[in-house]
Structure 1
Amino acid sequence: MKQTTTLLLTTLLFLCFSCSQSHKTISFDTFGVHPNSKENASVAAVKLIKYLQSRESDSKLTVTFPKGRYDFYEDGAFTREYYISNHDQDNPKKVGFALEGLKNIVLDGQGSDFIFHGRMIPFALLNNTNVTLKNVHIDFEIPALRQLKITAVNKEADEVIAEIYPPGNYRIDNNKLVVEGESYEFTPYVCMPFRADKRLAYNRADVGFNPTEITEKAPNTLSIKGWEQTKHTSPGEHFVLRSYHRPTPGIFVSECTDTKFKNVNVHYAEGMGLIAQMSENITLDGFSVRLRGDDDKRFFTTQADATHFSGCKGIIRSQNGLYEGMADDAINVHGTYLKVTKRVDDHTLQGRYMHSQSWGFKWGEPGDKIQFVESKKMELVGTHINEIKQIKAIDKPTDFGAKEFEIVFANELPVQVTENGDYGIENLSWTPEVIFSDNIVRNNRARGSLFSTPKKVICENNLFDHTHGTAILLCGDCNGWFETGACKDVMIRNNRFVNALTANYQFTNAVISIYPEIPNLEDQQKLFHSGIVIENNTFDMFDQPILYAKSTDGLIFRDNTIQYNTEFEPFHWNKHPFFFEKVNNILISNNHFGKEMDWDHAVRTELSAPDSVVIKDNN
């Protein structure tokens, strides 16, 4: 019997050792928290990640979460100082999962709900290789955004009656509504108006919320007086109350390689749904920023963009997603210009992050390819690509938290690039290819998709359904947002656009808007964007502007179908289906229009040669 027991123990030890060498799976409940228990899962998350970081092997490991609800609280969570592109740089931040320095890890939520409490970043991924997050729903118990449902309007008394949702967690101070979170509070001052069907209201963008008097008629029912929307609204409309504050994204990715998200649903975040910076190769498959279904009483999801990629490289692949109800774009891909602040010598410049929400993170490294742009004309300076030889922060010990850098270049600098003008430094090495395909973008504020990269962009097989502004924007700006850069190879094909542009925002001159910010367009000699093809798309239109392009050399608009409806009254200031400023080599051919086109008035061209636009074979 003793020999049998010894043999059994030996066998078990051998099996355990074998499993540890090819470790496949570990369950989250191993770390002390079970689903649906309401226990603080932040404590278990800390234990899990300590375990992952202590592994000696880099073999693939999957962490499974038994399906259910997990609650994560600030107490016991990670505390981190992070500098996150296009977000508020307020620190420290509470983090649910601080996934740092990991390799070959899969986190599989198996369809679980991860509910966060307070002001937290649910997932932060830093300095990882081959990490995957899948099958999880991310939400917050008490969101900062709230909405008002209008139940009655008395225009003579200048009063509306509204129900607040989610209920509770608010107070009235000196006739001001104060939203109370679990660890914060704020006073909303702007809102997004929605129709009862969850589409944003026609021709009303970013309306103010500053009533003269708010009183509580009953719990969660408010009397609102002296508000400018009283004369515009009616029962059934909803107003999503917000600020422009962006403290915490749903998912933060920085300096990672080969990161994947599969069937991840972000239902709310007080910043962007996902923001990635200085990372290589990111795949989103079935990643969504979405409501919880048709019965969800919320009209909103995120405080800003659904997804955002700043200074990334490799391939960004985003497919099979649903993006709705967010307070900004579905996707934005760009780099960041540094502004030249000092020419030290003929090989050395000092440059600075300029936007108040984008600084503190790595900008470049030795070997990166660099070019320079004159900001007012958005025109390249010099004929050769330069290279970083050395780069160091000059206002911090390292690039962590830095705003200003000193950069030594391998080759001599153009003589005109000094602090006496307005010049930007662009890092070409940290620019990605983008594939944005088979997604649905609907019922969101501002714009649908933004692409600013010189590498190949494919935007295909998507549905853009009632984006409040432009559906697709190709931008570039070294004056305000300081977001690079010029597009060189863009394919927009097989998409459907349904009544985009129901309100005006920045850069929203048509359903597709190619709009680099150029203060001195008239004196520009070298055009900014090029290599753009728009083909085989369907445009369902209630208004006129289809395509706007500025400073573009090489644009083809062909084999598209444009059909018209009467869902809304036309209102846009741009009365031309095609409006071009400072362009060359534009072709509009073989498109099918649902009405007779008066080509003498359909195309407006400014600051361009007479033969810059060719129109042929349309019907």
Structure 2
Amino acid sequence: MKKIILLVLLTTALNFSLMAQSNVKIYKLSAYGIKPNSGKNTTPLLTSLLKEIKSKTSDLDKVIIQFEKGRYDFYPEGAIKREYYISNHDQDNPKIVGIEIEKFNNITLIGKGTDLMFHGRMLPLALIESSNVKIKDLSIDFEKPQITQVKIISNDTTAGNIVFETAPWVKYKLKDSTFYNTGEGWEMQPTSGIAFENGTKHIIFNSGDIRVGTKSVSEVSPGKIKAYHWKNKKLISGTVIAMRSWHRPAPGIFVHKGKNISFENVKVHYAEGMGLLAQLTENIYMDGFGVCLRGKNDPRYFTTQADATHFSGCKGEIISKNGLYEGMMDDAINIHGTYLKITKKLDDHTVIANYMHEQSYGFDWGNIQDTVQFIQSKTMELWNAKNTIAAIKPILRNSTDPIKEFKIEFTKALDPVIDPSKQDIGIENLSWTPSVVFTGNTIRNNRARGALFSTPKPTLVANNLFDHTSGCAILLCGDSNGWYETGSCRDITIRDNKFVNALTSMYQFTSAIISIYPEIPDLTNQKKYFHSGIRILNNQFDTFDQPILYAKSVDGLVFTGNKIQTNKEYPAFHSNKKRFLFERVIGVDFSDNKVDGKPIEML
């Protein structure tokens, strides 16, 4: 007992000693001439101050940077340029960075309701190789979004022409009878669009991605454009359209190789890529994070160009609670790793493996001692035997090339059947897979899907509202053939959520409100099962159509205590006419479910 007491006293003394050596350094930006509502370019001033702070800070110091409430403008002039390879984004470089927090430990940015307004094409906030970072009470937006918002004034479906009116903030020009949205140092021709109901901001029923009339146009009057070859009977007068391209150069917030990253009451109102993209990061906490409009009176109908939040190759835990995700052009959250494809087997311990998707390469994939497993791409069957990385090295033709290929040596000899000359084989890094808590969030009025989860670690999806997600509300996927996004879910609970009129349009993998849809090219010859341990409990489904649950290649599926309430708000249209459609599913527990108050059987 005396030894234990002595150890506690020594530990306490050491902790106090470390605390005494550390300092809390508070930097009020107004004291350094960085003041709100000035209209001045904050970019070079804050960049210079961060560099100065870094030079005076030790790893034991805690840094607090305080904004005053108000608007701060960030312009590309004076910004740093960085070569970042960002998962699931366009790999064009360099990126123009507004605020870079690089290799900081223990730093907090406090906004006090600060509005960070960016100009041109920028990556607003980059958190690079930093730990114990907290971002609090601020918002990110752009003065001139690349998405063009217009309203339909008239639609002559017989003649095949439409007159639309640009939103007041939109600047444009006509060149060779083609409409171009113009901004600060950029211009673009929109090629696609999402149509919203005027007022409700729901996406127009059964519309999906629409063609927009930006060719063969003329100006009727300032702000009013006539498109002569645009025919779509669903676009009634008053319909609001977010016209866009498919480019996604940079997210609003980029986190790379971080640890213990926290966002509290942070909002992203627009980004030309995703709202938040984190890769190779351990432990991410979001409370009150939003990719959202500026309230009910915001004249915009859209937020980000792609996903609201996206996590690639992360580990530890990802917690998202009390968030609001609306108006984005893709999913609210997507969590996955990346399969490498084995292209060559050098010997029984060593392979060459590649990144395969054009938007995912250029960053590390694994470390020595990471645990991996192998998958047959056509059947998506895993080999039971796992292995460990003994050595991993990027293969570069030139020193400036981005990472696309690795030479990987494993501690144990590979099974002879792992042979890329005979079949396509993927590798998954199991060490970089997170547990997930996604609770108390609202997802509404967005394109494509609600939430995507692809991790074998425990995942809880609870007490969320999925309101008019135009595709499926929840997707459990996995794909070693196209997107190369890992992996199988082994322990996921989806409970106490409310789903309101999901699945109003068709997108990829949207076979039901909850769609368990791994991409399996050869399901017929699959012998094992991809997903397992899926529990769907006590949820409320308000729906106008049939499909509730689609499941493919699952061993162990519980669907109990769920209530389905039907309505007539839209006509049924989905090609899947079954409430529950299963393909290669075993171990099903289906009980105590009701439709309109009456018990329902699975089939």
| TM-score, reference length from structure 1 | 0.92
Q: Which deviates further from its counterpart, 289-298 or 57-66?
A: 57-66
The structure-2 alpha-carbon separation of the partners of 1:286 and 1:399, relative to structure 1 and needing over 3 Å to count, comes to: farther
The structure-2 alpha-carbon separation of the partners of 1:83 and 1:399, relative to structure 1 and needing over 3 Å to count, comes to: same
Q: Does 2:148 match 1:146?
A: yes
The structure-2 alpha-carbon separation of the partners of 1:21 and 1:436, relative to structure 1 and needing over 3 Å to count, comes to: closer
Local SS of the residue matching 1:350: strand
2:286 maps to 284
Give 1:362's aligned amino acid.
Answer: D
Aligned-residue offset at 1:170: 1.1
* In structure 2, C-alpha distance between the alignment counterparts of 1:398 and 1:391, rounded to whole Å: 17
Q: Does 2:417 match 1:416?
A: yes
Pick from 218, 222, 231: which aligns with 1:219?
A: 222
1:50 maps to 51
8 A Cα contact 1:211 1:226, kept in partner: no
Pick from 357, 369, 372: which aligns with 1:370?
A: 372
Pick from 182, 189, 204: which aligns with 2:191?
A: 189
1:511 maps to 513
Aligned-residue offset at 1:208: 1.3
2:37 maps to 36
* In structure 2, C-alpha distance between the alignment counterparts of 1:387 and 1:437, rounded to whole Å: 34
2:437 maps to 435
1:314 maps to 316
Q: Which deviates further from its counterpart, 63-72 or 210-219?
A: 210-219
* In structure 2, C-alpha distance between the alignment counterparts of 1:61 and 1:99, rounded to whole Å: 12
Give 2:201's aligned amino acid.
Answer: K
1:14 maps to none
- 1:287-310 superposed Cα distances (whole Å, 9 cap, x missing partner): 000001111111000000000000
The structure-2 alpha-carbon separation of the partners of 1:513 and 1:72, relative to structure 1 and needing over 3 Å to count, comes to: same
The structure-2 alpha-carbon separation of the partners of 1:31 and 1:417, relative to structure 1 and needing over 3 Å to count, comes to: farther
Local SS of the residue matching 2:44: helix
Matches within 5 A, 1:327-346: 327-346=329-348
Aligned-residue offset at 1:166: 4.5
8 A Cα contact 2:148 2:190, kept in partner: no
The structure-2 alpha-carbon separation of the partners of 1:167 and 1:452, relative to structure 1 and needing over 3 Å to count, comes to: same
Give 1:385's aligned amino acid.
Answer: K
The structure-2 alpha-carbon separation of the partners of 1:398 and 1:549, relative to structure 1 and needing over 3 Å to count, comes to: farther
* In structure 1, C-alpha distance between the alignment counterparts of 2:600 and 2:109, rounded to whole Å: 57
Pick from 76, 79, 99: which aligns with 1:77?
A: 79
* In structure 2, C-alpha distance between the alignment counterparts of 1:357 and 1:220, rounded to whole Å: 36
8 A Cα contact 1:445 1:467, kept in partner: yes
Give 1:208's aligned amino acid.
Answer: R
Local SS of the residue matching 1:228: coil
Moved over 3 A (4+): 18-21, 396-400, 595-599
Pick from 155, 175, 193: which aligns with 1:173?
A: 175
1:106 maps to 108
Local SS of the residue matching 2:90: coil
* In structure 2, C-alpha distance between the alignment counterparts of 1:235 and 1:333, rounded to whole Å: 39
* In structure 1, C-alpha distance between the alignment counterparts of 2:424 and 2:213, rounded to whole Å: 38
Aligned-residue offset at 1:54: 1.0
- 1:247-296 superposed Cα distances (whole Å, 9 cap, x missing partner): 01000001000000000000000000000000000001100000011111
* In structure 1, C-alpha distance between the alignment counterparts of 2:373 and 2:50, rounded to whole Å: 40
Give 1:222's aligned amino acid.
Answer: I
2:207 maps to 204
2:7 maps to none
Give 2:484's aligned amino acid.
Answer: F
The structure-2 alpha-carbon separation of the partners of 1:391 and 1:397, relative to structure 1 and needing over 3 Å to count, comes to: farther
Local SS of the residue matching 1:328: coil
Local SS of the residue matching 1:336: coil
Local SS of the residue matching 1:49: helix
1:522 maps to 524
1:616 maps to none
Give 1:189's aligned amino acid.
Answer: T
Pick from 366, 379, 392: which aligns with 2:381?
A: 379
* In structure 2, C-alpha distance between the alignment counterparts of 1:598 and 1:402, rounded to whole Å: 53
* In structure 1, C-alpha distance between the alignment counterparts of 2:399 and 2:367, rounded to whole Å: 12
The structure-2 alpha-carbon separation of the partners of 1:564 and 1:358, relative to structure 1 and needing over 3 Å to count, comes to: same
Aligned-residue offset at 1:482: 0.1
Local SS of the residue matching 1:351: strand
8 A Cα contact 1:511 1:545, kept in partner: yes
Aligned-residue offset at 1:476: 0.2
1:8 maps to none
Aligned-residue offset at 1:598: 7.4
The structure-2 alpha-carbon separation of the partners of 1:552 and 1:292, relative to structure 1 and needing over 3 Å to count, comes to: same
- 1:220-272 superposed Cα distances (whole Å, 9 cap, x missing partner): 1111121132x332111111101111101000001000000000000000000
2:4 maps to none
Matches within 5 A, 1:251-290: 251-290=253-292
8 A Cα contact 1:392 1:398, kept in partner: no
Pick from 575, 592, 595: which aligns with 1:593?
A: 595
1:404 maps to 405
- 1:64-94 superposed Cα distances (whole Å, 9 cap, x missing partner): 0011100000000111100000000000010
The structure-2 alpha-carbon separation of the partners of 1:23 and 1:598, relative to structure 1 and needing over 3 Å to count, comes to: closer
* In structure 2, C-alpha distance between the alignment counterparts of 1:556 and 1:360, rounded to whole Å: 40
Give 1:243's aligned amino acid.
Answer: S
8 A Cα contact 1:256 1:279, kept in partner: yes
- 1:388-410 superposed Cα distances (whole Å, 9 cap, x missing partner): 00000012678982000000000
The structure-2 alpha-carbon separation of the partners of 1:598 and 1:440, relative to structure 1 and needing over 3 Å to count, comes to: closer
Aligned-residue offset at 1:591: 1.0
Pick from 140, 156, 159: which aligns with 1:157?
A: 159
* In structure 2, C-alpha distance between the alignment counterparts of 1:120 and 1:224, rounded to whole Å: 31
* In structure 2, C-alpha distance between the alignment counterparts of 1:52 and 1:567, rounded to whole Å: 57
Q: Does 2:471 match 1:461?
A: no
Q: Which deviates further from its counterpart, 235-244 or 168-177?
A: 168-177
8 A Cα contact 1:146 1:166, kept in partner: no
Q: What is the number of equivalent residue pairs in this alignment?
A: 582
Matches within 5 A, 1:58-69: 58-69=60-71
8 A Cα contact 2:450 2:466, kept in partner: yes
* In structure 2, C-alpha distance between the alignment counterparts of 1:260 and 1:487, rounded to whole Å: 25
- 1:519-560 superposed Cα distances (whole Å, 9 cap, x missing partner): 000100110000000001100011000000000000000011
Local SS of the residue matching 1:411: coil
8 A Cα contact 1:393 1:399, kept in partner: no
Give 1:216's aligned amino acid.
Answer: E
When the two chains are superposed, the root-mean-square deviation of aligned CA atoms in Å is 1.6
The structure-2 alpha-carbon separation of the partners of 1:181 and 1:404, relative to structure 1 and needing over 3 Å to count, comes to: same
* In structure 2, C-alpha distance between the alignment counterparts of 1:249 and 1:165, rounded to whole Å: 24
- 1:176-198 superposed Cα distances (whole Å, 9 cap, x missing partner): 11111212221111100111121
Q: Which deviates further from its counterpart, 56-65 or 256-265?
A: 56-65
1:485 maps to 487
* In structure 1, C-alpha distance between the alignment counterparts of 2:184 and 2:428, rounded to whole Å: 41
1:94 maps to 96
The structure-2 alpha-carbon separation of the partners of 1:556 and 1:399, relative to structure 1 and needing over 3 Å to count, comes to: farther
* In structure 2, C-alpha distance between the alignment counterparts of 1:193 and 1:595, rounded to whole Å: 34
Pick from 531, 534, 537: which aligns with 1:535?
A: 537
Unaligned runs of 5+ in 2: 1-18
Local SS of the residue matching 1:355: coil
Give 1:405's aligned amino acid.
Answer: F
* In structure 2, C-alpha distance between the alignment counterparts of 1:333 and 1:146, rounded to whole Å: 29
Unaligned runs of 5+ in 1: 1-17, 604-619
Aligned-residue offset at 1:23: 2.6
Aligned-residue offset at 1:212: 4.8
* In structure 2, C-alpha distance between the alignment counterparts of 1:316 and 1:212, rounded to whole Å: 44
Give 1:53's aligned amino acid.
Answer: K
1:471 maps to 473
